[in-house]
Amino acid sequence: MPNRAGIFLVNLAVLDFAAKALFLIGVVVNVTIIIVTEVNRELATNPRENLVRTVVNAAQDRLRPVLLTTFTTVAGLLPTAYGLLFATIITLILTASLLVVGHDVEHWLGCGSEHKRGRN
């Protein structure tokens, strides 16, 4: 019989990784849009400008908005990270406790397994 608590924790870890990957992708796409928009705007106003110089200028001009976007996204995700950590700890404790209580109730009702409680 598979360990259901272990399977649940593996699934939780996969979901956690997927959520973090999506958040990271969102930040990267946001920053890319900010930089590309600035480069396009500068190229539209100065079409004869050197492309490398335009990209460097756009990156310098948009550094503050990019950092603010990144920091606010990270700050917004911190409660999620703390909530996920809290939920994981509570789940570990609650799952273990409910498994033992369920075993005790089955044993008390006489329909449980013959597993002994404790270390031995």
pTM, entire model: 0.57
Half-sphere exposure (Cβ direction) of 116: Cα atoms closer than 13 Å: 3
* pLDDT at residue 34 is higher than 80: yes
- pLDDT, tens digit, for every residue of 66-103? 898 888 888 887 887 777 678 778 877 887 788 888 88
- Which among 23, 15, 18 has a CA at the least distance from the CA of 70? 23
Domain ranges of the chain: 4-80
User: Rounded CA gap, 114 and 100, in Å?
Assistant: 13
- Which among 104, 77, 96 has a CA at the least distance from the CA of 19? 77
Q: What pLDDT is stored for residue 63 in this prediction?
A: 92
Whole-angstrom Cα Rg for the chain: 26
